[in-house]
Amino acid sequence: MSTTKHYDVVIVGAGPAGMCAALYTGRSMLKTLVLERGIPGGELLNTEKLDDWIGEKSILGWELAKKFEEHAREFGAEFVTANVTSVKRLDDGTFETITDVGDRYTSPATIVTAGGTPVKLGIPGEGEFAGKGVSYCAICDGAFFREQVIAVVGGGDAAVEEADFLTRYASKVYVVHRRGSFRASRILVDRLHANPKIEVIWDSVAEEVEGDAGGLMTGLRIRDVRTDAVRTLAATGCLVFIGFRPNTGILADHVEHDEMGYLKTDSIMQTSVPGLFAAGDLRSQLTRQVTTAVGDATTAAIAVEKYLKARAEGHAVDPQGTGGYSA
């Protein structure tokens, strides 16, 4: 049976941003609910190891995720496993968050930290061989490629980092990139070039995932964009890391966004809808790191506390304020 429950703040998504926001709103004694469709952790669960989480020279993604969750729970945040389908602002200015089983949660403020979904290549065979060679998550599927030759597609941080990680299982990793240089950060690129199991194929695009009658992937057809030459890499895995799309489809109201669909916020993480805050990977910004996600989330959570106080006291709330809630 579906239910309706009320909270001070509902947080959609339990990645680093969601869990950090929950920690701060919980710590501010706000009744806090975190809704997450999977295991709490978000992109941390797609990251083998972090060496840029300040204070830890090296920490496993899942380990940091677990610490974040425990810490947020410590301050009273409630976690519910649920697939959110809609976040809507009602006439009285409160929000209604609805799940796919019809449960409803109302709150005067909502923080969306729903992250993004991997972009697909959109080539023949990609869908057919998904889970049978084609994957979007190295840490989830890496071990399936033990002693196999695989291809990674992409040239950003994710592709370059995960190609390096995948060499602990695969016998060889091709990195297929559509241009002649990586956009990934220097330290990751240097690590990749130092790895003898990796061969970079520049200026090439994936055209088709090939497979056998038994339904398993046997190769990746690629085309050199300079010469138009086509060849098939004898790869039994294709790991695609060509970016993310922000998960903003759950927002029922129009919320201002940039040309890529990332939500625009002001300096206190409030979106164009008063009381609706955004933090982490779905927010329009220069970079998407764990450190920036938790930074956004801290600001959003503290802004929510001020927003709720002003609202409760009947003060004017400055929707695009730079932190100033007028008394």
The catalytic residues are 137, 140-141
Give 184 or 302: the residue with its C-beta nearer to ligand NAP: 184
Our measurement of the distance from residue 230's CA atom to the centroid of its chain's CA atoms, rounded to an integer in Å, reads 33
- 280: region left, alpha or beta (phi > 0 left; psi from -120 to 50 alpha): left
User: CA 45, CA 316: separation in Å to the nearest integer?
Assistant: 41
User: CA 25, CA 303: separation in Å to the nearest integer?
Assistant: 10
User: CA 12, CA 290: separation in Å to the nearest integer?
Assistant: 17
User: CA 134, CA 111: separation in Å to the nearest integer?
Assistant: 33
Give 43 or 305: the residue with its C-beta nearer to ligand NAP: 43
CB of 39 to ligand NAP, least distance (A): 19
CB of 144 to ligand NAP, least distance (A): 21
CB of 77 to ligand NAP, least distance (A): 25
User: CA 34, CA 61: separation in Å to the nearest integer?
Assistant: 20
Which residues lie near ligand NAP (CB under 6 A)? 121, 153-159, 161, 178-179, 183, 205, 241-244, 287-289
State the residue number with the nearest CB to ligand NAP: 156
CB of 311 to ligand NAP, least distance (A): 34
Look up residue 204 and give its two tokens. 């090439």
Give 6 or 179: the residue with its C-beta nearer to ligand NAP: 179
* Distance (Å) of CA 59 to CA 19, 66, 266: 17, 11, 32
Give 241 or 277: the residue with its C-beta nearer to ligand NAP: 241
